[in-house]
Structure 1
Amino acid sequence: MKPFLRAFAATFALLAAPLAARADEVSVAVAANFTAPMKQIAADFERATGHKAQLAFGSTGKFYAQIKAGAPFQVLLAADDETPTRLVKEGDGVAGSQFTYAIGKLVLWSPKPGLVDDKGEVLRSQRFAHLAVANPRLAPYGLAALETMKALGLADALQPRLVVGESIGQALQFVSSGNAELGFVAFAQIHQDGKLIDGSHWLVPDAYHSPIRQDAVLLDKGKASAAATALLGYLKSDAARAVIRAYGYAR
């Protein structure tokens, strides 16, 4: 190798070494409804910072139990604001780190065009045999669905038709696979690349259920992690907020 090339290579190595040393990984528990946008945000985050986010998706209630049992998550992106608040009070979350990263919207959706009308009147009909929902004890979107059915006066009538998933992701899977003709899912889940997917839907009015404020929190196991702190900061950036809005969340 020529002398000037050796000098260039040595200089490049010296410049790159600090970046490599700073690069880290963060383990993130992510509410199932936020799967698609978080995958995009994680990729953008890695390109912007060099840090890598290791993502696990599931129900907020299940993640709470896992965190209490010692799971090595460093950041939680919940589907509610109550779980992060509880974790902070119990000493498993870092005080002052909690913030709302998205406000979710509930939707009644079917892959069948024309099945779901724009007022949700299909719920009063006999045009379906099964309605998918997430477990209201584990998933905030499931609780919002239950509150909506109660607000409509249909909770008892619809009970025999319910197909209950552990998470909102599983509820969507029931509908997508045809095991249920329609279901209450997150509005973000029926978006792909920022556009609505095929089918029919009713965007549930906010007045029918409690607000779905989705909060992030730095967990105790992540308080010494530069990557964990950087990810929470990145979630507040204009770039991340643009992705969040593109998937149908209010933020």
Structure 2
Amino acid sequence: MNAVPNPLLPLAAQPLDPDLSAGRQALEAAHAIGAHWWGVLEHLREADACSETRGGTLPVWARELLGTWRQQHEAHDELDRRHRDAVRALAIAEGDALTAYEVWTRSGARLDGQHDFLAQAEARRAELAGQHPDAFVARVARVRATAEHSDPALLDTLLGRICWAGVHFGRDGEQDTHTVQDETGRTITVPAGALMAHPAFERLAEAGREQVLFHAQRRAAGPAPERGLPGFGPP
């Protein structure tokens, strides 16, 4: 006997496709359920306010639970924002984050870069706005970490502000290597120890230093999660 479909669950909440990312499908299903219920609540509020036959039929306590039209739409916007952040966080965890957010000026100077989330870059832009009123956030292709080592002496040649671009986990007890990028877009990949011992480490953006130290602490605490794989920071 076929089960009666639940009218309160959208189609997106049906069983997951085994050939696709389970995490991504679960997020999409959760978002679809939230959006569906938002639509139900909006319909109730609209009918109570405008319907010729149903207008004014809801009790006061129900109207208070439903909130105002503005509150409902603010809640929907927040649902969408959190869904986007969750999808991006999952992409980063799966190694599929192909873009990052950077802060630039209209004259073509990059002030800060390689932020995972738009909110992080916007916060940094706000910090720099006093000195750079024309600063804006751009979404750019992410610089991936590479297994090819550069001569640590090249750290002396980095120009301007330095951003962290990724980590490559070491093999068989070898150090992790970190890729950094200067304002010209040039990248250098060096062992963690060489980077932390070089004066360029102090010029690295604060978020980048945190990433390097995070991976150093991870290595000190135990074996790497999976050797020889590129990464972009803490899960």
TM-score of the superposition, structure 1-length normalised?
A: 0.25
Q: Which has the higher strand share?
A: 1
The structure with the larger Rg is 2
Normalised TM-score (structure 2): 0.26
